[in-house]
Amino acid sequence: MHSAKNRIWKMPQINKKKLEELKSRLPIPIMDLLLKTLVNRGYQTPEHILRYLKPHFLQLPSPFLFKDMEKAVARILQAIQNDENILIFGDKDVDGVTATAILQKTLQKFKANVAFRVPEGDDKYGLSPEIIQWAATEGFDLIITVDCGITAIEEVKQAKKLGIDVIITDHHEPRPQLPEAYALINPKIPECGYPFPYLSGASVSMNLAWALLEAHFLHEYHGQEFVFCDVETTGLNPSRDEIIEIAAIKIKNGVIIDTFECLVQINQPLSGEITRLTGITEDMIRQNGLSPREAFEKFIEFVGKRKLIGHNIADFDLRFLQQGIRKYLGKPFSPPIEDTLRLSKILCPKVKDHKLNTIAQEFGIYVDTSELHRARFDAELCGRVYRSMILQRNHPLIQSLQDIMGLAAIGTIADIMPLIEENRTIVKNGLEFLRYSSIGLIKLIQSQDIPIQKVTVKDIGWGIAPLLNSPGRVGQASISVELLLSSKIHEVDELLSHIVSKDSERRQQFDQNLKNIEKKLTPETLDETVIIVESAEISKNSTGLLSNKLSLQYQKPVVVIALQEKEAIGSVRSAVNFNVINMLEHCGDILLQFGGHKAAGGFTITIENLPIFKQRVLEYYEKSRQENTQDTILVDSELDRLQDITLENLVYLENMMAPIGTQNELPRLFISKVRFMNPYFFGKEKDHFQCLVVKGETTLPAVGWSMKETLMNYGFEKFSDQWFDIVAVPNINRYNDIEQVRLELVDIALHPYERK
């Protein structure tokens, strides 16, 4: 640990021997700094590191892991078959409009009677009694929410009374009571089934679309139960050798629904070679093995009449099973089979060999090779490989997934989701797939002079997302949805012109709202631990942008409230260690409506409850601060020499770590005993800091955003006479086609020898 004022720097504990072992087991070369960073962030095995470096979109979890997904798909297909009217209801922010476009685009492929609606004008966020009544009047039979709905308890009841089914897809925090919807698809609800809880609304929508696409394109696969089988034996000859282990995995729509595995007693000694290969010993078989008769009976019962699938099943596993079943049960065994070895030779003709693990890696499946040659593990791996091959060979399905994954990537980035695990896979692949998007989205990207082949997280966050967000801020979010759906050039040009116009209008509106809100920022307000500011002169659509700007500026939680006649609509943002959604839940009994994430949220409240709300917010912050007295900065690696931070090395890091963003930043480096040269403050508030960092004979430019208060604590005028320790992130500063290495300061502290 290393302490700087009230912040703790948690230093990495790197085992050099383990690093070398990891490096030797990786099939690709890797820079030491990258390897240290990944290990320090929890990537401890070669297969985990490879999944990070080469995330394949086909390895995203099956959408049917969501508990209600089959139910939702069946209801939507029924609606399409019966010519029912379907309404997709979304949100007006970027996550909401991309989520809406994903599902609208997908249902249009199936010729569904589908329309969409997003909040416009004076519409409130989420489902409302007015929306439900409107949907009933317009003759809609089914409503599918995207990026909203998880708290719409009364609205769902109202829809039921009016004969409308509601399927909710959302990613916001649920309350203890859930809506009684026809189906609930949200990775945060209890027992939802999906392994990753931090999806964006667009990615949840993509999962529903993916499930529908499978049901539409994979007629022979969807809804069927398949059994994936593997056996381990004492040798290669079924007439002479015996089965020592059988495993079978029952899979439906990419989800394991049942398993069977057993060791089998044998009549001959087990060779040391087989034990070394499988890890199975004679003691294990003696203590836990079933008799061959019992093992085969249970296996046949488990398989039933289902298709049996395995790798080299035709020439190996099935022959052993048939020999054993005939010998011990006296009956034939001829189930329908499919061999992934034979299939792989057709689909992957150029791989070096067609072993199960080789084919798995071809599809981005990286596993611990020490687990191979156990029947259960190999059967599961075969199931994953088979699903990948079935998906990959269906070109219309793949094209549809590529089309919508780009939209899911934009929604994920815009909603500031953590770029780890599934989100990393969606964004990395989705950005590459943007070239397959609608003409509307491609033209939007090109309008910002962004090359379609090299779109980055920063391009989306700073260029594309604000443009898509603008129409919603001024009450016309449907324009953004229409652009994302459009493939007609004349229509795209008109919509794009509208969006640019709305962006200009939004900027003017924001600037005016900012001036209005800044008038309310008294010294007393700014001194509070949480800045809470309200005004009747600001738009309810601007509270999110205003609170975000002020939170970043003052490094405090900020609540901005737009006052209306009887109600107030507010947004909360936090750039520090403060859980926004927990705070809103703390105030839930006095809020009319609320929702959000850890760092951002929104709410509606009556005017008369505002005083008690402010009191509750401050109480919650004090309690939170007492429980989290010190901020912790996780350091990824220690840097001894500044000269190791070269442009070439940073380009490598950017390429290998991309997409770079929330929770997947470039490495945070601890650099000891440096000096600052030519320091000065800049920016409108003079709260940003720029200097040269000097260590030994090397200097690098450095910048510290919103670090004025931290730096003044050390005496700005004495900088050149003091030694400092710093935590900094190296990056490439690109300006006017010039690339320059720069350090972004995260925190500074006096070097220990300088401390009094």
Q: Tens digit of pLDDT for each residue in 336-351?
A: 999 999 999 999 999 9
Q: Average per-residue pLDDT in the chain? A: 91
Tell me how far apart the alpha carbons of residues 290 and 610 are, in angstroms, rounded to a whole number: 69
Would you state the pLDDT for residue 574? 81
Tell me how far apart the alpha carbons of residues 124 and 130 are, in angstroms, rounded to a whole number: 10
Q: For residue 575, name the pLDDT band (cuts at 50, 70, 90).
A: low
Would you say 404 and 433 are in contact if contact means Cβ atoms under 8 Å apart? Answer: no
Would you state the pLDDT for residue 755? 43
Six token digits for residue 408: 């899911």
Would you state the pLDDT for residue 370? 87
445 closest CA partner among 402, 484, 387: 484
Alpha-carbon torsion angle 427, 431, 436, 441, nearest 10: 100
In the chain the domains, ranked by start, together with CATH numbers, are 2-27+635-754 (2.40.50.140), 63-217 (3.90.1640.30), 225-392 (3.30.420.10), 397-509 (3.90.1640.30), 519-631 (3.10.310.30)
Tell me how far apart the alpha carbons of residues 595 and 601 are, in angstroms, rounded to a whole number: 6
Give how far the C-alpha of residue 592 lies from the chain's centroid of Cα atoms, to the nearest Å.
30
List all residues 6 or more positions away from 57 whose beta carbon is below 8 Å from its beta carbon: 401, 405, 425, 426, 429
Would you state the pLDDT for residue 458? 92
- For 755, the 3-state DSSP assignment is coil
| The residue to which tokens 């779109």 are assigned | 455
Q: For residue 446, name the pLDDT band (cuts at 50, 70, 90).
A: very high
Return the H-helix or E-strand segment holding 547. helix 543-554
Would you state the pLDDT for residue 756? 38
Q: Which of 11-25, 315-329, 547-561 has the highest mean pLDDT?
A: 315-329
Alpha-carbon torsion angle 132, 133, 136, 137, nearest 10: -140
Model confidence at 2: pLDDT above 60: no
Tell me how far apart the alpha carbons of residues 425 and 659 are, in angstroms, rounded to a whole number: 9
Tell me how far apart the alpha carbons of residues 163 and 532 are, in angstroms, rounded to a whole number: 43
Task: Please state at what angle helix 16-25 crosses helix 46-53, rounded to 10 degrees.
Answer: 60
630 against 378, higher pLDDT: 378
Would you state the pLDDT for residue 381? 98
Tell me how far apart the alpha carbons of residues 477 and 468 are, in angstroms, rounded to a whole number: 8
Would you state the pLDDT for residue 719? 67
Would you state the pLDDT for residue 495? 93
Mean pLDDT of 449-471: 92
Tell me how far apart the alpha carbons of residues 524 and 528 are, in angstroms, rounded to a whole number: 7
Model confidence at 629: pLDDT above 60: no
Mean pLDDT of 309-313: 97
Render 127-148 in DSSP notation, one character per residue: --HHHHHHHHHTT-SEEEEES-
Would you say 227 and 250 are in contact if contact means Cβ atoms under 8 Å apart? Answer: yes
Query: In the chain, pLDDT over 70 holds for what percent of residues?
Result: 96
Angle at 159 between CA 153 and CA 161, to 5 degrees: 105
Tell whether the torsion through CA atoms of 350, 352, 353 and 355 is positive or negative.
Answer: negative
Give how far the C-alpha of residue 267 lies from the chain's centroid of Cα atoms, to the nearest Å.
52
Would you state the pLDDT for residue 520? 87
Would you say 10 and 35 are in contact if contact means Cβ atoms under 8 Å apart? Answer: no
Within 10 A of 234 (CB to CB), how many other CB atoms are there?
Answer: 18
Would you say 153 and 128 are in contact if contact means Cβ atoms under 8 Å apart? Answer: no
List all residues 6 or more positions away from 55 whose beta carbon is below 8 Å from its beta carbon: 364, 424, 425, 428, 429
Give yes or no for a cis peptide into 12 (omega within 30° of 0): no
The number of helices, as runs of H, and strands, as runs of E, in the chain is 28, 24
Would you say 49 and 657 are in contact if contact means Cβ atoms under 8 Å apart? Answer: no
Would you say 675 and 722 are in contact if contact means Cβ atoms under 8 Å apart? Answer: yes
List all residues 6 or more positions away from 627 whose beta carbon is below 8 Å from its beta carbon: none
SS (H, E, C) 269-297: CCCHHHHHHHCCCHHHHHHHCECHHHHHH
- For 714, the 3-state DSSP assignment is coil
- For the stretch 683-730, pLDDT in tens is 877 878 899 999 988 999 999 887 777 777 666 666 667 889 999 999
Would you state the pLDDT for residue 703? 92
Start-to-end CA distance of the chain, whole Å, equals 19
Q: For residue 368, name the pLDDT band (cuts at 50, 70, 90).
A: very high
- For the stretch 36-84, pLDDT in tens is 999 999 999 999 999 999 999 999 999 999 999 999 999 999 999 999 9
Six token digits for residue 125: 């966020």
Give how far the C-alpha of residue 521 lies from the chain's centroid of Cα atoms, to the nearest Å.
36
